[in-house]
């Protein structure tokens, strides 16, 4: 019973002390900001994917290496691709125009024979026509000569058409076979995974002998020396974020230090799972040593004033009321707010005394 009495006495004393706490509005700087958590990322940081399925035959780089665009990173086993190239090479050689000159020569010979036959039949028809005009010979002989000439003309035309069609088919087969060979060579190139941009190898995600596919990344690459901040901003705050706004952030790896950045990119698509937007910022001041995926906590400055009349937020009740005496309250108009202070636009002066409300 005595313990409970002492507890209530102590509680009453604390309440009385809080009720007697007082202060005056002060003029000073204040900033309103939006909180965001984030990480450090290398500029142009990207995940490398294989364009084919297969087993890793060889890893050509190590983590920390600097590579240029197009440099090979990983080799994937490609025995089937080698066989496809061999077959395509055989087909291209077989379909080459130079390898089929005999067919074209044979077709040209056929055209020559048909042309000679047509000329001969033309001469014989002319002679038969002269004889027929002199009433020499029979009508049947004349008609047979006419028919023979018509047939030779048709055979000559057919021979020429056959030559043109044969040449077209051979040219098409030759071009197609060389195209298939290029495709096979290109596919073979896909079995060597290459860097898409100049930068540093930050992580190799696979080991030699592991299976790779087109769905899972095999490495992470990015710029070797240029970094940015990637933050997650809640959907309720994103409408207040603008390009060029100042960002103040702290990092666990650099405790006690505050660094500066500027909002550069606001990605317009919301992440449906986290209900947040990605905001990227460029460093203004940054640590000497940085690594991708270092965590940070940031405040994006929305508005700020160098000289504002402010009071502690704990002295404000109902978002717009302050206590001037035991039973005296006054309505005020507030402006900027941070975690500790609130700006007073009207309702108080620098000489007014306000009391902390009871909890």
Distance CA 42, CA 292 (A): 6
Tell me the CATH number for domain 82-190.
Answer: 1.10.287
Residues of the chain with CATH 2.40.50.100: 46-76+191-220
Per-residue tens of pLDDT for the chain, all 359 residues: 444 444 443 444 444 455 578 888 888 888 888 999 999 999 888 999 988 888 888 899 999 899 999 899 988 876 555 556 555 565 556 555 555 667 767 777 888 888 888 888 788 878 878 776 777 777 787 778 888 888 888 888 888 888 788 777 777 777 776 776 666 655 555 678 899 889 999 999 999 888 888 899 999 999 988 999 999 999 999 999 999 999 999 999 898 899 999 999 999 999 999 999 999 999 998 888 888 999 999 999 988 888 888 888 888 888 888 888 777 888 888 888 877 888 888 888 888 888 888 77
Residues of the chain with CATH 1.10.287: 82-190
pLDDT at 40: 94
- Tell which residue, 191, 275, 288, has the closest CA to residue 237: 275
Q: CB atoms < 10 A from the CB of 301, how many? A: 16
pLDDT at 94: 56
DSSP conformational letter for 1: -
> What count of residues does the chain have?
359
pLDDT at 5: 44
Cα-based distances in Å from 347 to 141, 310, 323: 130, 12, 12
Choices 1.10.1020.10, 3.40.50.720, 3.30.70.2740, 2.40.50.100: CATH for 46-76+191-220? 2.40.50.100
Distance CA 199, CA 206 (A): 19
Helices and strands in the chain: count of H runs, count of E runs? 4, 20
pLDDT at 181: 63
End-to-end CA distance of the chain: 26
Residue 25's region, left for phi above 0, alpha for psi from -120 to 50, else beta, is beta
pLDDT at 279: 96
pLDDT at 82: 57
Distance CA 232, CA 26 (A): 34
- Tell which residue, 285, 290, 227, has the closest CA to residue 258: 285
* CB-CB contact of 265 with 275 (8 Å): no
- Which residues contact residue 19 at a Cβ distance below 8 angstroms, ignoring those fewer than 6 apart? 355, 356, 357, 358
DSSP per residue over 153-200, as a string?
A: HHHHHHHHHHHHHHHHHHHHHHHHHHHHHHHHHHHHHHTEEE-SSSEE
pLDDT at 1: 45
CATH architecture of 34-44+224-303: Beta Barrel (2.40)
Residues of the chain with CATH 2.40.30.170: 34-44+224-303
């Amino acid at each position: 019973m005595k313990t409970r009495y002492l507890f209530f006495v102590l509680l009453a004393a604390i309440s009385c002390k809080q009720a007697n706490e007082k202060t005056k509005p002060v003029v000073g700087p204040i900033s309103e900001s939006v909180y965001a958590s984030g990480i450090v990322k290398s500029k142009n940081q990207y995940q490398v994917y294989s364009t084919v399925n297969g087993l890793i035959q060889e890893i050509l780089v190590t983590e920390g290496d600097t590579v240029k665009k197009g440099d090979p990173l990983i080799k994937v086993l490609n025995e089937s691709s080698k066989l496809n190239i061999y077959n395509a090479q055989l087909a291209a050689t077989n379909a080459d125009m130079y390898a089929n000159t005999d067919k074209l020569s044979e077709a040209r010979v056929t055209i020559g024979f048909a042309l000679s036959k047509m000329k001969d039949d033309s001469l014989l028809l002319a002679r038969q026509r002269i004889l027929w005009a002199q009433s020499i010979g029979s009508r049947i002989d004349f008609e047979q000569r006419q028919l023979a000439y018509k047939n030779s003309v048709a055979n000559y035309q057919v021979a020429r058409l056959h030559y043109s069609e044969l040449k077209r088919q051979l040219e098409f087969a030759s071009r197609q076979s060389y195209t298939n060979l290029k495709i096979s060579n290109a596919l073979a190139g896909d079995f060597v995974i290459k860097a898409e941009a100049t930068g540093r190898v930050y992580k190799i995600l696979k080991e030699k002998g592991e299976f790779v596919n087109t769905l899972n990344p095999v490495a992470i690459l990015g710029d070797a020396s240029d970094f940015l901040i990637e933050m997650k901003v809640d959907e309720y705050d994103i409408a207040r974020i603008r390009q060029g706004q100042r960002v103040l952030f702290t990092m666990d790896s650099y405790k006690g230090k505050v660094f500066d950045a500027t909002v550069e990119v606001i990605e317009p698509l919301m992440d449906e799972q986290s209900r947040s937007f990605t905001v990227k910022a460029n460093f203004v001041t940054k640590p000497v040593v940085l690594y991708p995926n270092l965590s940070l906590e940031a405040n994006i400055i929305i508005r700020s004033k160098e000289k504002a009349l402010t009071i502690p937020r704990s002295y404000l009740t109902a978002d717009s009321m302050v206590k001037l005496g035991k039973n005296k309250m006054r309505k005020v108009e507030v402006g900027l707010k941070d975690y500790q202070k609130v700006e007073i636009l009207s309702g108080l002066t620098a000489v007014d005394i306000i009391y902390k409300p009871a909890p």
